[in-house]
Amino acid sequence: MGSSENRLRKKWQDYGGCLATEAEHSVFTIFELLFQDTEYEIIKQPREFSNVYVDVQLSQDEIAEIYTPPCSILHHGIRPDGAIRNKNTGKTIYLEIKRQDVWVEGKSRRTGRGNAHERLCKYFTPGILKLLRRAGNIAPDSYPFWIIFQGDITRDPCRVREIRYWFDGNESNLFFWRDAKNADSLVSHFLSHIEPLLE
């Protein structure tokens, strides 16, 4: 355990009680508190990739085969839910936070037909991985994102199995935050698995 992790863990022990309420917590509220007066910052909806697709070069043959609108495409990209940056190292991990109504007690299996969890799969694509690793200054053998699931999707018997299968061998970049009234497990996962990627 590095000195930075020790410092943040001690800080969380001191401040964590401030959030001990019956209400659900926000990922952003927790990390804004934890990162006060540290080298870390959390950013909501970073915009640096908002136009990443606009300048993708296509061959003339392909351009001839697709629709060319009469106006210019000015905005076309991705916007992660958040980012955590170590201001000392310049390293950044991108956050995706997913909720979804799904199959749990009192609901039918049909309730679990949403695809919020499937939309996160863009982060596994070669182009997005390359982009986020470069922008986040993350090692080529590490995933440059942290996916946090909240709400009923963390207990759906089908969705949990799908997600576990997708992340096989890479569980460090995945967190099922099943008890959003308790931030200890979320902070502990960050300190153990995510912070080392940012040092």
Are 82 and 97 contacting, i.e. CB atoms less than 8 angstroms apart? yes
Instruction: Report the alpha-carbon distance of residue 26 to residue 38 in Å, rounded.
Output: 20
Q: Which residue has the higher pLDDT, 151 or 64?
A: 64
Where do we find the tokens 């969705």?
A: 159
The model's pLDDT over 114-127, given as tens digits with 9 standing for 90+, comes to 677 788 899 999 99
Range with the poorest average pLDDT among 111-125, 130-144, 163-177, 182-196: 111-125
Percent of the residues in the chain that have a pLDDT greater than 70, as a whole number: 83
Are 92 and 85 contacting, i.e. CB atoms less than 8 angstroms apart? yes
Sheet holding 82-86, edge to edge: 40-44, 82-86, 91-98, 145-150, 174-177
Whole-prediction pTM: 0.87
| Strand partners for 43 | 83
| Strand partners for 92 | 85
pLDDT of residue 169: 86
The model's pLDDT over 51-99, given as tens digits with 9 standing for 90+, comes to 999 989 999 999 999 999 999 898 999 999 999 999 999 999 999 998 8
Instruction: Report the alpha-carbon distance of residue 172 to residue 190 in Å, rounded.
Output: 9
Are 193 and 172 contacting, i.e. CB atoms less than 8 angstroms apart? yes
Q: State the CATH architecture for 3-198.
A: 3-Layer(aba) Sandwich (3.40)
With a CB cutoff of 8 Å and minimum separation 6, the contacts of 166 are: 121, 124
Identify each DSSP E strand in 33-187 by its residue range: 40-44, 82-86, 91-98, 145-150, 174-177
- 12: pLDDT confidence band, cut at 50, 70 and 90? confident
- 153: pLDDT confidence band, cut at 50, 70 and 90? confident
